[in-house]
């Protein structure tokens, strides 16, 4: 058994809260490894996984609804600590014989929380002071199950949407380690939330706090070696963080038996190809096989305006080219493994927690390749969140320019040139995008933004330049804050900065006479325009 399999871990049962991933991140920040599982996880499975503690997340359902998701009742008998958060608290109360009622009004937003007694869950959390915490629930507990007691109350401002007080804002079993919080300790708005989760994970569950990036990398290298044996692997690099870090890690494990293929599809940002080549060739000493395929992609995209069709064409062509190259490189017998930079959020998304969700965009990856080429997947980053991948990348010596780079879609600039993708329009977009990024870096704001990019719109508009009428293209700037790309808000950039970027673009990028700033959140919009 590897060390990873023995490490103490907390399992989070996801009842569909938008904050479930945040719970996981907050627990990992306490250096405790944790995983998100579907709500159907059984006690037997939890035991087999070596759970040191369980968290029941919040969720949109009401425990009073027929068919509301339940937890396996045996989980409460496992003997490991269980923390219910919001819906999790109500579920615990409901399943263990308490009474939950539908509140007349929702309690949503800030409330004042006060711990009662000296429960270890609240050790080191603001003494007897009231904490400002974040509530977001409809139902509330009317009567506690047998042997439970309140360990905290809350009072909220009485408003039209707030009933005012919750007698059972925090609950605990008198003898067994069963705990519940009505508020969300995982959100940044909840004071003391990180300490509460630390108390739960480190003190109550007794986890050691040995989940560090250093330990992760050492174990991951060991695991890759175990998996690949004497085999050979190929990796498709995109220039993004995930594939670069995956490649660097696998290279550490198997050296030159890893072959990295970089397909320049002509849809990259300004200077990106040179940057990737420098990073791998010079910096990391990992040989990179670059394929110049820009012409093939442009040909295939000629006349195509539908975003999904663009994605399909790019995906198929990428697979075709990658396969050609991999067969050449692999030599006799070819490669046995395909390295992919799959991250934990992708893994969680594929867990059918919330039922089948509608496809909004078909995200391009190298799906399809493993079956076609009979390759087994090596996915060393499957357990990591993006910020953890960045930390691992730094540790592995991946240059900062790549590690801290904003996410970039697989189909590249093709989904940011709205309408037909041509060499001229790509060049226009590259120019505008480079100016935006340069100015954000100069202003010291690049790292604070989740994603920033320019989009070339398929509209012309009238302008006046040097006393003459112009009829030229319009560029939209998109800068968003996000934690996981599932939801996003537009970045409140300083007006002076926007003005500078706009002025530089219209002056320096031929063919653009208008710049607009996108002020839509996700939802209802998505981050990309296509």
Q: Catalytic site residues?
A: 86, 184, 186
Residue 71 CA to residue 346 CA, distance in Å, equals 24
CB of 363 to ligand XMP, least distance (A): 4
CB of 57 to ligand XMP, least distance (A): 22
Nearest by Cα to 35 from 52, 17, 16: 52
Contacts of 71 by beta carbon, 8 Å cutoff, 6+ apart: 13, 39, 56, 91, 92, 95
CB nearer ligand XMP, residue 309 or residue 526: 526
CB of 356 to ligand XMP, least distance (A): 17
CB nearer ligand XMP, residue 161 or residue 526: 526
CB nearer ligand XMP, residue 328 or residue 526: 526
Query: In the β-sheet with 288-292, what is the strand arrangement from edge to edge?
Result: 288-292, 258-264, 233-237, 337-339, 376-378
CB nearer ligand XMP, residue 363 or residue 394: 363
CB nearer ligand XMP, residue 116 or residue 447: 447
CB of 27 to ligand XMP, least distance (A): 24
CB of 407 to ligand XMP, least distance (A): 4
Nearest by Cα to 512 from 459, 449, 446: 459
The CA-atom distances, in angstroms, between 332 and each of 232, 328, 335, 378, 486 are 11, 9, 9, 21, 43
CB nearer ligand XMP, residue 153 or residue 269: 269
Which tokens is 110 given? 């800030």
| Cβ density class 431-466: b for 16+ within 10 Å, e for less | bbbbbbbebbeeeebbeebbbbbbbbbeeeeeeeee
CA dihedral 28, 34, 38, 41 (to 10 degrees): -150
Residue ranges binding ligand XMP (CB under 6 A):
311, 360-361, 363-364, 407, 409-411, 451, 485, 522, 526-528
CB nearer ligand XMP, residue 311 or residue 405: 311
CB of 365 to ligand XMP, least distance (A): 6
Burial of 202 (0-12, 13-18, 19+ CB in 10 A): middle
Contacts of 341 by beta carbon, 8 Å cutoff, 6+ apart: 240, 241, 242, 243, 244, 245, 246, 247, 379, 381, 389
C-alpha 367 chain-centroid distance: 19
CB of 391 to ligand XMP, least distance (A): 19
Residue 427 CA to residue 178 CA, distance in Å, equals 60
Query: Tell me, what DSSP letter sits at residue 367?
Result: T
CB of 415 to ligand XMP, least distance (A): 6
CB nearer ligand XMP, residue 342 or residue 513: 342
Nearest by Cα to 363 from 309, 322, 409, 407: 409
Residue 199 CA to residue 207 CA, distance in Å, equals 10
C-alpha 2 chain-centroid distance: 27
C-alpha 459 chain-centroid distance: 33
CB of 367 to ligand XMP, least distance (A): 11
CB nearer ligand XMP, residue 227 or residue 451: 451
Q: What totals of helices (H) and strands (E) does the chain contain, helices first?
A: 16, 18
CA dihedral 429, 431, 435, 438 (to 10 degrees): 110
| Cβ density class 49-63: b for 16+ within 10 Å, e for less | eebbbbbbbbbebeb
Which tokens is 256 given? 């030159």
Which tokens is 20 given? 């479930």
Which tokens is 416 given? 């940011």
């Amino acid at each position: 058994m590897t060390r990873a399999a023995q490490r103490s871990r907390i399992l989070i049962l996801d009842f569909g809260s938008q904050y479930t991933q945040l719970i996981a991140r907050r627990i990992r920040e306490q250096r405790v490894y944790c995983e998100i599982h579907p709500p159907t996880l059984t006690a037997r499975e939890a035991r087999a996984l070596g759970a040191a503690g369980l968290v029941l997340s919040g969720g949109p359902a009401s425990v009073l609804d027929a068919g509301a998701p339940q937890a396996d009742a045996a989980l409460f008998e496992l003997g490991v600590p269980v923390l219910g958060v919001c819906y999790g608290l109500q579920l615990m109360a409901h399943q263990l014989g308490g009474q939950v009622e539908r509140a007349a009004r929702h309690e949503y937003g800030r409330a004042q929380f006060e711990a009662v007694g000296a429960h270890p869950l609240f050790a080191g959390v603001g003494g007897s002071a009231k904490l400002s915490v974040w509530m977001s629930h409809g139902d509330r507990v009317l009567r506690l199950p047998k042997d439970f007691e309140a360990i905290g109350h809350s009072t909220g401002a009485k408003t039209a949407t707030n009933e005012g007080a919750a007698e059972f804002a925090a609950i605990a079993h008198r003898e067994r380690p069963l705990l519940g919080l009505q508020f969300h300790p995982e959100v940044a708005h909840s004071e003391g939330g990180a300490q509460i989760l630390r108390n739960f994970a480190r003190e109550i569950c007794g986890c050691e706090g040995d989940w560090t990036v250093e330990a992760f990398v050492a174990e991951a290298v060991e695991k890759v070696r175990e998996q690949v044996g004497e085999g050979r692997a190929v990796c498709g690099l995109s220039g993004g963080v995930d594939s670069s870090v995956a490649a660097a890690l696998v290279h550490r494990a198997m050296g030159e038996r890893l072959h990295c293929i970089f397909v320049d599809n002509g849809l990259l940002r300004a200077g990106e190809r040179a940057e990737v080549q420098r990073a791998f060739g010079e910096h990391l000493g990992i040989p990179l096989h670059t394929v110049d395929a820009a012409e093939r992609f442009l040909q295939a995209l000629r006349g195509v305006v539908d975003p999904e069709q663009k994605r399909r064409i790019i995906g198929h062509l990428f697979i075709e080219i990658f396969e050609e190259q991999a067969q050449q490189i692999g030599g006799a017998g070819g490669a046995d493994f395909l390295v992919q930079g799959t991250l934990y959020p992708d893994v969680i998304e594929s867990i059918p927690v919330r039922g089948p969700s509608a496809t909004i965009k078909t995200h391009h990856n190298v799906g399809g390749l493993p079956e076609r080429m009979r390759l087994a997947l090596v996915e060393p980053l499957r357990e990591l969140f993006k910020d953890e991948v960045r930390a691992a990348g730094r540790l592995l010596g991946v240059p900062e320019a790549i590690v801290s780079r904003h996410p970039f879609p697989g189909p590249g600039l093709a989904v940011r040139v709205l309408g037909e993708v041509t060499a001229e329009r790509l060049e226009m977009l590259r120019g505008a995008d480079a100016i935006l990024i340069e100015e954000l870096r100069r202003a010291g704001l690049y790292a604070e933004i989740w994603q920033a990019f320019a989009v070339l719109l398929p509209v012309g508009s009238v302008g006046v330049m040097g006393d003459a009428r112009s009829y030229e293209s319009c560029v939209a700037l998109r800068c968003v804050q996000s934690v996981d790309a599932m939801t996003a808000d537009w970045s409140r950039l300083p007006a002076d900065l926007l003005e500078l970027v706009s002025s530089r673009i219209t002056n320096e990028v031929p063919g653009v006479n208008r710049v607009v700033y996108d002020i839509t959140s996700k939802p209802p919009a998505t981050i990309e325009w296509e």
